[in-house]
Amino acid sequence: NAGVTQTPKFQVLKTGQSMTLQCAQDMNHNSMYWYRQDPGMGLRLIYYSASEGTTDKGEVPNGYNVSRLNKREFSLRLESAAPSQTSVYFCASSESYTRKTQYFGPGTRLLVL
Amino acid sequence: AQRVTQPEKLLSVFKGAPVELKCNYSYSGSPELFWYVQYSRQRLQLLLRHISRESIKGFTADLNKGETSFHLKKPFAQEEDSAMYYCAQGVGNEKLTFGTGTRLTIIP
Protein backbone atom coordinates (compact mmCIF):
# COMPACT_ATOMS: atom_id res chain seq x y z
CA ASN A 1 0.00 0.00 0.00
CA ALA A 2 1.90 3.03 -1.28
CA GLY A 3 -0.67 5.57 -0.05
CA VAL A 4 -0.34 8.84 -1.95
CA THR A 5 2.44 9.10 -4.51
CA GLN A 6 3.64 12.12 -6.44
CA THR A 7 5.91 12.62 -9.43
CA PRO A 8 8.31 14.21 -10.00
CA LYS A 9 10.08 14.77 -6.69
CA PHE A 10 11.95 17.79 -7.94
CA GLN A 11 11.69 19.97 -11.04
CA VAL A 12 13.37 23.07 -12.37
CA LEU A 13 11.49 25.14 -14.93
CA LYS A 14 12.18 28.31 -16.82
CA THR A 15 9.62 31.08 -16.74
CA GLY A 16 6.91 30.38 -19.29
CA GLN A 17 7.43 26.64 -19.46
CA SER A 18 4.59 24.27 -18.66
CA MET A 19 4.49 21.08 -16.68
CA THR A 20 2.12 18.65 -15.02
CA LEU A 21 2.49 17.32 -11.51
CA GLN A 22 1.09 13.84 -11.07
CA CYS A 23 -0.61 12.41 -8.02
CA ALA A 24 -2.08 8.98 -7.39
CA GLN A 25 -3.60 7.26 -4.38
CA ASP A 26 -4.34 3.59 -3.81
CA MET A 27 -6.64 3.94 -0.78
CA ASN A 28 -9.87 4.11 -2.79
CA HIS A 29 -10.42 7.65 -1.54
CA ASN A 30 -13.06 9.82 -3.11
CA SER A 31 -11.56 13.24 -2.41
CA MET A 32 -8.20 14.63 -3.49
CA TYR A 33 -6.43 17.94 -2.95
CA TRP A 34 -3.50 20.00 -4.15
CA TYR A 35 -1.68 22.34 -1.76
CA ARG A 36 1.33 24.55 -1.99
CA GLN A 37 3.61 25.12 0.97
CA ASP A 38 5.58 28.33 1.29
CA PRO A 39 7.67 29.59 4.22
CA GLY A 40 5.55 31.62 6.62
CA MET A 41 2.37 30.90 4.63
CA GLY A 42 1.69 27.39 5.74
CA LEU A 43 -0.39 25.18 3.48
CA ARG A 44 -2.65 26.81 0.94
CA LEU A 45 -5.23 24.89 -1.03
CA ILE A 46 -4.94 25.30 -4.79
CA TYR A 47 -7.67 22.99 -6.08
CA TYR A 48 -9.60 20.03 -4.82
CA SER A 49 -11.78 17.26 -6.14
CA ALA A 50 -14.53 16.24 -3.77
CA SER A 51 -15.34 13.21 -5.90
CA GLU A 52 -14.46 11.71 -9.24
CA GLY A 53 -15.69 13.98 -11.99
CA THR A 54 -15.70 17.19 -9.95
CA THR A 55 -13.05 19.82 -9.30
CA ASP A 56 -13.22 23.13 -7.45
CA LYS A 57 -10.98 26.09 -6.78
CA GLY A 58 -9.28 26.54 -3.46
CA GLU A 59 -7.61 29.63 -2.02
CA VAL A 60 -4.92 30.16 -4.66
CA PRO A 61 -6.04 28.69 -8.01
CA ASN A 62 -4.65 31.35 -10.37
CA GLY A 63 -2.06 29.99 -12.76
CA TYR A 64 -3.06 26.37 -12.23
CA ASN A 65 -5.41 23.81 -13.73
CA VAL A 66 -6.32 20.35 -12.53
CA SER A 67 -7.67 17.12 -13.94
CA ARG A 68 -9.28 14.32 -12.00
CA LEU A 69 -8.34 11.62 -14.44
CA ASN A 70 -10.08 8.83 -12.55
CA LYS A 71 -10.70 7.95 -8.93
CA ARG A 72 -7.00 7.30 -8.30
CA GLU A 73 -5.32 10.17 -10.13
CA PHE A 74 -5.41 13.94 -9.76
CA SER A 75 -2.98 16.06 -11.74
CA LEU A 76 -1.97 19.70 -11.41
CA ARG A 77 -0.88 21.66 -14.46
CA LEU A 78 1.10 24.87 -14.69
CA GLU A 79 0.46 26.26 -18.15
CA SER A 80 3.03 29.06 -18.03
CA ALA A 81 5.23 28.85 -14.98
CA ALA A 82 6.18 32.00 -13.07
CA PRO A 83 8.84 32.49 -10.37
CA SER A 84 6.01 33.07 -7.87
CA GLN A 85 5.06 29.44 -8.36
CA THR A 86 8.33 28.27 -6.86
CA SER A 87 7.09 26.17 -3.97
CA VAL A 88 6.66 22.70 -2.57
CA TYR A 89 3.48 21.07 -3.83
CA PHE A 90 1.63 18.45 -1.85
CA CYS A 91 -1.16 16.21 -2.99
CA ALA A 92 -3.52 14.73 -0.41
CA SER A 93 -6.54 12.49 -0.32
CA SER A 94 -9.37 11.71 2.08
CA GLU A 95 -12.02 9.04 2.23
CA SER A 96 -14.63 11.62 1.38
CA TYR A 97 -15.11 15.36 1.58
CA THR A 98 -16.86 15.06 4.90
CA ARG A 99 -14.41 12.53 6.33
CA LYS A 100 -11.77 15.09 7.08
CA THR A 101 -8.62 13.09 7.75
CA GLN A 102 -6.28 13.76 4.87
CA TYR A 103 -3.28 11.70 3.82
CA PHE A 104 -0.42 13.42 2.10
CA GLY A 105 2.04 12.59 -0.63
CA PRO A 106 5.79 13.19 -0.33
CA GLY A 107 5.70 16.49 -2.18
CA THR A 108 7.19 17.98 -5.33
CA ARG A 109 9.79 20.73 -5.05
CA LEU A 110 9.41 23.12 -7.95
CA LEU A 111 11.87 25.86 -8.81
CA VAL A 112 10.91 28.35 -11.49
CA LEU A 113 13.79 30.47 -12.78
CA ALA B 1 -14.37 31.76 6.30
CA GLN B 2 -13.04 29.42 8.93
CA ARG B 3 -9.68 30.28 10.42
CA VAL B 4 -7.05 28.46 12.41
CA THR B 5 -4.49 30.53 14.27
CA GLN B 6 -1.12 29.26 15.35
CA PRO B 7 0.42 32.34 16.98
CA GLU B 8 3.99 31.05 17.16
CA LYS B 9 5.85 30.61 13.89
CA LEU B 10 8.94 29.43 15.72
CA LEU B 11 9.28 27.73 19.09
CA SER B 12 12.49 26.52 20.72
CA VAL B 13 12.44 24.26 23.76
CA PHE B 14 15.20 22.50 25.65
CA LYS B 15 15.28 18.72 25.61
CA GLY B 16 13.38 17.37 28.58
CA ALA B 17 11.30 20.52 29.03
CA PRO B 18 7.54 20.62 28.48
CA VAL B 19 6.22 21.61 25.08
CA GLU B 20 3.01 23.45 24.24
CA LEU B 21 2.10 24.44 20.71
CA LYS B 22 -0.87 26.77 20.59
CA CYS B 23 -3.82 26.51 18.25
CA ASN B 24 -7.03 28.53 18.21
CA TYR B 25 -9.89 27.79 15.87
CA SER B 26 -12.74 29.99 14.68
CA TYR B 27 -15.79 27.73 14.61
CA SER B 28 -18.16 28.26 17.52
CA GLY B 29 -19.70 24.81 17.27
CA SER B 30 -18.01 21.41 17.34
CA PRO B 31 -15.39 21.13 14.62
CA GLU B 32 -13.15 18.21 13.86
CA LEU B 33 -9.65 19.12 14.94
CA PHE B 34 -6.33 17.68 13.90
CA TRP B 35 -2.63 18.05 14.46
CA TYR B 36 -0.31 17.17 11.60
CA VAL B 37 3.49 16.90 11.85
CA GLN B 38 6.07 17.32 9.11
CA TYR B 39 9.61 16.14 9.80
CA SER B 40 12.42 17.64 7.78
CA ARG B 41 11.77 17.24 4.05
CA GLN B 42 9.07 14.61 4.63
CA ARG B 43 5.37 14.49 3.98
CA LEU B 44 2.80 15.72 6.46
CA GLN B 45 1.62 12.96 8.76
CA LEU B 46 -1.44 12.90 10.94
CA LEU B 47 -0.32 13.17 14.55
CA LEU B 48 -3.67 13.06 16.28
CA ARG B 49 -7.37 13.81 15.99
CA HIS B 50 -9.37 15.17 18.88
CA ILE B 51 -12.20 12.68 18.42
CA SER B 52 -9.78 9.80 18.94
CA ARG B 53 -8.61 11.15 22.29
CA GLU B 54 -5.35 9.34 21.71
CA SER B 55 -1.77 10.06 22.65
CA ILE B 56 0.78 9.71 19.89
CA LYS B 57 4.52 9.91 20.54
CA GLY B 58 3.70 11.33 23.95
CA PHE B 59 1.67 14.23 22.54
CA THR B 60 -1.83 15.04 23.65
CA ALA B 61 -4.21 17.82 22.72
CA ASP B 62 -7.11 19.06 24.77
CA LEU B 63 -10.12 20.71 23.25
CA ASN B 64 -11.23 23.81 25.14
CA LYS B 65 -14.52 24.95 23.66
CA GLY B 66 -14.72 28.02 25.86
CA GLU B 67 -11.41 29.32 24.54
CA THR B 68 -11.80 27.63 21.12
CA SER B 69 -8.35 26.19 21.56
CA PHE B 70 -6.74 22.87 20.77
CA HIS B 71 -3.21 23.20 22.12
CA LEU B 72 -0.71 20.38 21.58
CA LYS B 73 1.30 19.32 24.62
CA LYS B 74 4.10 16.99 25.58
CA PRO B 75 5.53 16.81 29.09
CA PHE B 76 9.15 16.07 28.12
CA ALA B 77 10.52 17.17 24.75
CA GLN B 78 12.80 14.89 22.77
CA GLU B 79 15.19 15.86 20.00
CA GLU B 80 13.20 13.85 17.45
CA ASP B 81 10.21 16.12 18.11
CA SER B 82 11.86 18.87 16.08
CA ALA B 83 9.49 19.38 13.17
CA MET B 84 6.83 21.60 11.66
CA TYR B 85 3.42 21.24 13.28
CA TYR B 86 0.13 22.20 11.70
CA CYS B 87 -3.23 22.49 13.40
CA ALA B 88 -6.31 21.96 11.21
CA GLN B 89 -10.05 22.43 11.57
CA GLY B 90 -12.84 20.64 9.70
CA VAL B 91 -16.41 21.92 9.76
CA GLY B 92 -19.39 20.21 8.19
CA ASN B 93 -19.20 20.21 4.41
CA GLU B 94 -16.37 22.72 4.29
CA LYS B 95 -12.81 21.88 3.41
CA LEU B 96 -10.18 21.28 6.05
CA THR B 97 -8.56 24.56 7.10
CA PHE B 98 -4.91 24.56 8.16
CA GLY B 99 -3.06 27.00 10.35
CA THR B 100 0.20 28.53 9.16
CA GLY B 101 2.26 26.12 11.23
CA THR B 102 4.77 26.25 14.08
CA ARG B 103 8.35 25.15 13.62
CA LEU B 104 9.45 23.43 16.80
CA THR B 105 13.15 23.11 17.53
CA ILE B 106 14.36 21.01 20.45
CA ILE B 107 17.65 22.25 21.84
CA PRO B 108 19.91 19.41 23.03
Q: Do B100 and A105 touch (CB under 8 A)?
A: no
How far apart are alpha carbons B11 and A101 in whole angstroms?
26
> B101 to chain A: which residues are within 8 Å by CB?
42-43
pLDDT (0 to 100) of residue A101? 87
Band of residue B93 on the pLDDT scale cut at 50, 70, 90 = confident
Q: Nearest residue of A to residue B9 by CA position?
A: A40
Nearest to A62 by CA among A40, A47, A41, A42: A47
Contact by Cβ (8 Å): B101, B16:
no
Q: Do B43 and A97 touch (CB under 8 A)?
A: no
Q: Which of B96, B97, B102 is most worth mutating to test chain A (most A CB atoms within 10 A of its CB)?
A: B96
Band of residue B91 on the pLDDT scale cut at 50, 70, 90 = confident
pLDDT digits (tens, 9 = 90+) for A55-68: 999 989 999 999 99
Task: Flag whether pLDDT at B15 surpasses 80.
Answer: yes
Nearest to A107 by CA among A92, A96, A85, A97: A92
